Chain A
Amino acid sequence: MIKIIDLKKRFNTRRVLNGLNLEIEQGKITVIIGRSGEGKSVLIKHIIGLLRPDSGQIFLDDMEITSMKEKDFNEVRKRFGMLFQGGALFDSMTVAGNVGFPLKEHTDLSDDDILKIVTEKLRRVGLVNVEEMMPADLSGGMRKRVGLARAIVMDPEIVLFDEPTTGLDPIMSDSVADLVLDTQRVLKTTYILITHDIPFTYKIADKIAMLHEGRIIEQGTVEEMKANQNPIVRQFLEGRAEGPIKVY
């Protein structure tokens, strides 16, 4: 379980996280929603230790990770897999090099075995015969899927996906949802996802948490959130321009 307590983070004068509290259950799929620029990416970067908070704590099981030394954190990170919003593929490596990179760095598997796993993971995200392509030659959606394959290649305990379906066609989005549900069922993976894709969220979420003005303002199951009467949540889930949230 991951427990985030009173997390605060500012960049220069801009307060992004403002006393955020959230519990993420083990083996469950937690979806974080919220407007663009509210700090969703910043939040998951705190969970994996890319950013350190100004104050507040994050517990992973019983370990407090925000104050952990870089060296110890590195061990903790081996339990995570992360998809970056922009993919963050290594553009000096082929697709196979990218997806197989964590295996190559952290296991003693032979190159052949690595390639087998890579091909299998790429198939799971709907990609075949792309192993030798370079990231620059892929479409946006393909790049995202290579990033997904890389994030899950080690079968990590905890997976962080930053907008896994952005840029994917609806059919592909649905198959990503199936991928998430399958791995969660089989491997008991804990998922933390950020998305703006509401149908996708309704299909997979065990818990939806809405980030607004630096805090989690509402959270609950899909049914609870659908029934939630908070006008901010209603406006967001229904995707209306008029309401308490102003579009400047």
Chain B
Amino acid sequence: MIGMFKGYLEKLGESAGKFVTSTGLMATMLAQAAVYAFTPPVKLRNIFKQMEFVGVQSLFVVVLTGTFTGMVMALQSFNALKRFGAESLVGPTVALSMARELGPVLTGLMVTGRAGSAMATELGTMRVTEQIDALFTMAVNPVKYLVVPRIIAGVLMFPLLTVITDFVGVVGGYMVGVRLLGINPGVYIGRTIDFVQVSDIFIGLEKSIVFGLIMSLVACFNGFYTTGGAEGVGRSATSSVVMGSVLILVSDYLLSSFLS
């Protein structure tokens, strides 16, 4: 009984220890990346390659997610608002939720699933096949060479993708609200413009910058410190998605309460 308890405590201590070390390692990686990002020479080619990977290649999934979310938002808010006779507010409801919340969060989660797991897999494979060690032996700092371009790409591309999600979401909402549910188009657009302010969009974009940082840092961290062969690479990919998504949701709450 006591042995069991002790075993349990030891496990708990172990995980707590792991948590502390990985938080520390991640903070160190971020600090290093911040320094190297401004240490010449800066290789633009690597950054563009990652921006293409994070941004351009996520377009399809982001457009799809955004459109359908806007559509379902219009449908649901119509059902709710109808009860108060406030159907004209469907437009601003969709636009505000997209801009402040759903745009950045859904983009964050979808791109973490797509690009974050791929980044962790790539770096993890490089780790277990000694490619990262090879960079070291060639006097090339792997954090500068591998991590910095990915973090920059995440921080730059997330806001852009979020703008796209917001936009297609509003379009999707308009289609459902006006074409399907028969709200007057003039009212729909007019009310949206009345209620939604530029600051609402900026709040969403500020969030998305943080989410982009979380996605890329978590993915790079998990990939970079992969151990245990092919199985370990799989583990890194999974935990980069789980850890990234959870951190995005937690920070979303914190950011929402700070920013409003």
A residues neighboring B (CB under 8 Å)? 45, 48-50, 74-75, 77-78, 80, 82, 84, 86, 88-92, 101-102, 105-106
Residues of B within 8 A of A74 (CB): 139, 141
Residues of B within 8 A of A78 (CB): 139
Residues of B within 8 A of A48 (CB): 136-137
Q: How many angstroms between the C-alpha atoms of A90 and B133 in the bound complex?
A: 11
Residues of B within 8 A of A101 (CB): 138, 140
Residues of A within 8 A of B125 (CB): 91
B131 touches A88 (CB 8 A): yes
Residues of A within 8 A of B134 (CB): 82, 84, 88-90
List B residues 128-153 near A (Cβ within 8 Å).
Answer: 129-131, 133-134, 136-141
Within 8 Å by CB of A102, from B122, B129, B138, B141, lies B138
* Nearest B residue (CB) for A41: B130
Q: How many angstroms between the C-alpha atoms of A82 and B137 in the bound complex?
A: 7
Residues of A within 8 A of B133 (CB): 45, 50, 84, 88
Within 8 Å by CB of A75, from B130, B137, B138, B139, lies B139
- Contacts beyond the supplied A74-B139, A77-B136, A84-B133: 7 A-B pairs with Cβ under 8 Å: A78-B139, A80-B137, A84-B134, A90-B134, A92-B122, A102-B138, A105-B138
Least CB distance from B188 to A in Å reads 48
Least CB distance from B187 to A in Å reads 53
Residues of A within 8 A of B137 (CB): 48, 50, 77, 80, 82
B138 touches A77 (CB 8 A): yes
Least CB distance from B173 to A in Å reads 41
A86 touches B129 (CB 8 A): yes
Interface residues on B, range: 10 to 19
Residues of A within 8 A of B129 (CB): 86, 88, 91
B138 touches A91 (CB 8 A): no
Residues of A within 8 A of B130 (CB): 84, 86, 88
B136 touches A50 (CB 8 A): yes
Residues of B within 8 A of A84 (CB): 130, 133-134
Within 8 Å by CB of A91, from B131, B136, B141, lies B131
Q: How many angstroms between the C-alpha atoms of A90 and B138 in the bound complex?
A: 12
Least CB distance from A108 to B in Å reads 11
Residues of A within 8 A of B138 (CB): 77, 101-102, 105
Q: How many angstroms between the C-alpha atoms of A75 and B136 in the bound complex?
A: 11
Least CB distance from B226 to A in Å reads 15
B139 touches A106 (CB 8 A): yes
Least CB distance from A190 to B in Å reads 15
Q: How many angstroms between the C-alpha atoms of A25 and B122 in the bound complex?
A: 39
A-B interface, 8 closest residue pairs, ranked by CB to CB distance from nearest? A88-B134, A88-B130, A77-B139, A82-B137, A78-B139, A102-B138, A74-B139, A84-B130
Q: How many angstroms between the C-alpha atoms of A91 and B122 in the bound complex?
A: 10
Least CB distance from B137 to A in Å reads 4
Q: How many angstroms between the C-alpha atoms of A80 and B134 in the bound complex?
A: 12
